[in-house]
Every structure is written in C-alpha cells, then in structure tokens.
Amino acid sequence: MCHDARYFCGDESFVSWEGQEKDLSISLTVRWSRKRKRWESDRAVFWNDRKTKWSCRSEDGKYYHGFRSLRALLKSYVGGILCEKAYCYGMKNARAKYWFSQYPKQVTCKVTMRCTGPLPAALC
C-alpha cells in the first residue's frame, strides 16, 4: 500500500523528502463475531479460509489475502491504514504489538513505524 511517489505520478520532479523522518503509530481493535464466525472491526472483516490463509476486506473495498496468521494480516492492514493517513510514501522499522482479551473476545493491534517522508501535495 505504501509505494514510492514516483511510482504513482511517473514524475521525478517532486520535492525530495529524504532525511525527514517521523515516528507514527495507530491501533485497531477487532472483536470476534460468534454469529458470523469471523473477526470484525468498524471498517473491516477478517476471516480464515479453508486453505488456512487469512484474508480481510475493508468497507472501502481493499482486499488483503494470503497471510499465514491473523497477527501478520493485522500488522499489514493497520500499517497500511497508518501509511495512508500520514500520506507516507516510505516506511521502515514497522513493529506491531498485540493485546488479547478473552471476555469479550478481542485483539488490539498497535503498529508503530518510521515514515521517511510524506507524499507530495499533488498526490494527496
């Protein structure tokens, strides 16, 4: 989801943001739906298919698939949200922490990363 801005605009003339870095974080809590037998948040649903691969679809139509674990899927999904909200075109040192609750059954994933620069205003 986070790509170099040159990939989007095909133009090398954008302002270079090299050297400017910012630490960012965001968290998401998903809860287990007994009725639907899947994990849900306000904006997305997460499920495990027959081939033991984890997938997710957000309300805006984005689809993530092929993850070996719910943890890996959550890290990618939450990291993507963070990247989009910060208009970040490059990231590094992405880390995730997870908190589990039995009653009610839910998982909170907090992703922190270092953004290497915002997207140029023309692409935002």
The β-bridge relationship of strands 22-33 and 63-67 is unpaired
Tokens describing residue 68: 């070996």
Q: Which of 83, 80, 73 is nearest to 30 (CA)?
A: 73
93: domain range?
5-123
Q: Taking a C-beta distance cutoff of 8 angstroms, is the pair 119, 88 a contact?
A: yes
Please calculate the CA angle 82-90-114 and round it to the nearest 5 degrees: 60
**Cα torsion at 85, 88, 89, 93 (round to 10°)?**
-110
Quick one: pLDDT at residue 119?
54
Tokens describing residue 30: 């998903």
Number of domains in the chain: 1
Tokens describing residue 92: 């590094």
Quick one: pLDDT at residue 46?
97
Q: Identity (one letter) of the amino acid at 96?
A: A
Q: Each residue's pLDDT tens digit in the chain (124 positions)?
A: 333 333 333 333 344 445 577 888 999 999 999 999 999 999 999 999 877 799 999 999 999 999 999 999 999 999 888 888 877 767 778 899 999 999 999 999 999 988 876 655 544 4
Quick one: pLDDT at residue 68?
93
